[in-house]
Structure formats: structure tokens, C-alpha cells
């Protein structure tokens, strides 16, 4: 088998003295949709921010065969690594179209215009609202815009942080539908989710993160049967305090 697209070895992240991610190792193979699930506070967001380069970290990150642990964020974007952050981080006072065009700022004008059409066909809703300010969009539209903006950079690996957060179930279904389509179109995806059932339904492989460490991994079917999952969410583990 060929080397994985993203290979993370023994990654640790600390805020000041407090280490919140401990020796995490994960792999994403080309074309796969891999998910990291876990309860609130497990360190999932921190892990993604470190992979993107927003946070410093110890350990090795190899992307497309090259070490990127010391590469600045903008160069990681150039190499095809993109993050849709939990808080969306849109340019609220700018129109939808400008948000998207800025997403493709590292690409050539021709590529940018071509990708814009693709994104508009993937998210017709965004095309309807192309002149509207990003700050006036609904929660679901914002999530779509955040994803569209990341896709404008033509990522090889798209990382998403809790795309379902704060969205109504029907919209969550739409978002996950789009994720499956994206994977079918050849984009590899690393999905971090609290919404475990939704994530496991679309994933090829899953990691469970608890208290900053990966505690379980396997195919979604195996994980879903694992009683530890329910435990880690609803505390049925019988730990009595």
C-alpha cells in the first residue's frame, strides 16, 4: 500500500504548561473520509488547529510525503491542506462571492474562476446569495460558505471541525450529504465531530478521542458496536464518583 496522504506521529500540543493533546498518531489515506469523534473537551479542535499550523506542536506531521511540522500556515494551504474551523471564521462584512474568491487567493485567476463555478454548482444556495454579506447568512449557509471557501483553495485534504455544530438535524443531513459527494469527487477528508452517529455513517475509518488521546480506532461498524463510544458520551461506564 502507498504511503498515507497525511501521517501524524506522536503529536502533542500544550497551552502553556497544560498539555491537551498527548502523543496522537493518525493517518488519512488518499481519497478516504476519516473521522475523529469524541466528547466535548477531548482535544479534537486543538488537534486540527495544530495540524493546520495555527498552534505549535511537538511530533511529526507528514503531508503528501513531505514533513510540514515546521512549514508556516500559508504554505500548508498552498500545498493543499485546508481547514473549515469550528467557528467558521468568515469575513462577515464582505459578500459571499468575495469570501469565496479570497478562499482561492493562492490559486491563479483562471483556476479561481473555474473553481468558483464548481463551488456554486455544489452549493446553489451560495450562488443565490452571492451578493449578500456573509454576516447576514443563516447558520447552515454560513457552514456551506465556510466549506465553499475552503474548497476554493482546491485542497487535497479538507479538514472540518464540527460542521454540524449548532445546526438543525435537516441541515446537518445536507452537510453530510455534501461531504459524501466531495469524497466521491476525490477530495480526502478529515472530519472532527461530536455528532458521532452522523460521522460514523459517512466515514471510512474512525478514531475515538478521549482526554487528549486516541483511545479506540477502527472501521465505523466496529466503533459503533463498541460500548466505549456510548460510555464516552453518556457516562455509562460505571465509573462511580
Say if residues 214 and 227 touch (Cβ distance below 8 Å): no
Binding to other proteins in span 70-129, by CB under 8 A:
70, 72-74, 77-78, 82-83, 85, 87, 89-94, 98, 101-103, 105-106
Say if residues 64 and 29 touch (Cβ distance below 8 Å): no
The phi and psi torsions of 24 (rounded to 5 degrees) equal: -85, 130
Q: Nearer Cβ to other proteins, position 4 or 53?
A: 53
Q: What is the number of other CB atoms lying within 10 angstroms of the CB of residue 54?
A: 13
Question: Minimum distance from CB of 143 to other proteins (Å)?
Answer: 13
Q: Nearer Cβ to other proteins, position 4 or 116?
A: 116
Give the whole-angstrom CA distance, residue 172 versus residue 167.
6
Binding to other proteins in span 7-26, by CB under 8 A:
17-18
Binding to other proteins in span 189-208, by CB under 8 A:
194-199, 201
Question: Minimum distance from CB of 183 to other proteins (Å)?
Answer: 16
Residue 54 binding other proteins, by CB under 8 A: yes
Q: Nearer Cβ to other proteins, position 4 or 160?
A: 160
Give the cell for residue 195: 455528532
Q: Nearer Cβ to other proteins, position 3 or 235?
A: 235
Among residues 128, 173, 219, 222, the one that binds other proteins under rule CB under 8 A: 173
Report DSSP letters for 77-105, one per residue.
Answer: HHTTEEEE-TT----TTSBHHHHHHHHTT
Strands 205-210 and 213-218: antiparallel
Say if residues 191 and 160 touch (Cβ distance below 8 Å): yes
Question: Minimum distance from CB of 28 to other proteins (Å)?
Answer: 19
Give the cell for residue 133: 454579506
Give the whole-angstrom CA distance, residue 43 versus residue 138.
28
Q: Nearer Cβ to other proteins, position 65 or 235?
A: 235
Question: Minimum distance from CB of 96 to other proteins (Å)?
Answer: 13
Amino acid at each position: 500500500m502507498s504511503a498515507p496522504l497525511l501521517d501524524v506521529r506522536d503529536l502533542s500540543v500544550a497551552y502553556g504548561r497544560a498539555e491537551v493533546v498527548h502523543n496522537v498518531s493518525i493517518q488519512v489515506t488518499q481519497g478516504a473520509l476519516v473521522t475523529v469523534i469524541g466528547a466535548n473537551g477531548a482535544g479534537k479542535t486543538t488537534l486540527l488547529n495544530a495540524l493546520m499550523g495555527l498552534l505549535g506542536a511537538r511530533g511529526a506531521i507528514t503531508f503528501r510525503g513531505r514533513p510540514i511540522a515546521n512549514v508556516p500556515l500559508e504554505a500548508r494551504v498552498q500545498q493543499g491542506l485546508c481547514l473549515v474551523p469550528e467557528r467558521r471564521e468568515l469575513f462577515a462584512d464582505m459578500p459571499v462571492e468575495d469570501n469565496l474568491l479570497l478562499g482561492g487567493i493562492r490559486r491563479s485567476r483562471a483556476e479561481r474562476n473555474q473553481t468558483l463555478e464548481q463551488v456554486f454548482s455544489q452549493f446553489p444556495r451560495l450562488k443565490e446569495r452571492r451578493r449578500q454579506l456573509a454576516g447576514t447568512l443563516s447558520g447552515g449557509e454560513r457552514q456551506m460558505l465556510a466549506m465553499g471557501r475552503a474548497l476554493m483553495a482546491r485542497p487535497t485534504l479538507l479538514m472540518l471541525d464540527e460542521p454540524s455544530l449548532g445546526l438543525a438535524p435537516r441541515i446537518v443531513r445536507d452537510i453530510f450529504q455534501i461531504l459524501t459527494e466531495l469524497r466521491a469527487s476525490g477530495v480526502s477528508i478529515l472530519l472532527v465531530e461530536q455528532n458521532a452517529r452522523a460521522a460514523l455513517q459517512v466515514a471510512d475509518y474512525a478514531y475515538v478521542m478521549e482526554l487528549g488521546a486516541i483511545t479506540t480506532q477502527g472501521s465505523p461498524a466496529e466503533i459503533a458496536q463498541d460500548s466505549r463510544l456510548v460510555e464516552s458520551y453518556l457516562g455509562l461506564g460505571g465509573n462511580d464518583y
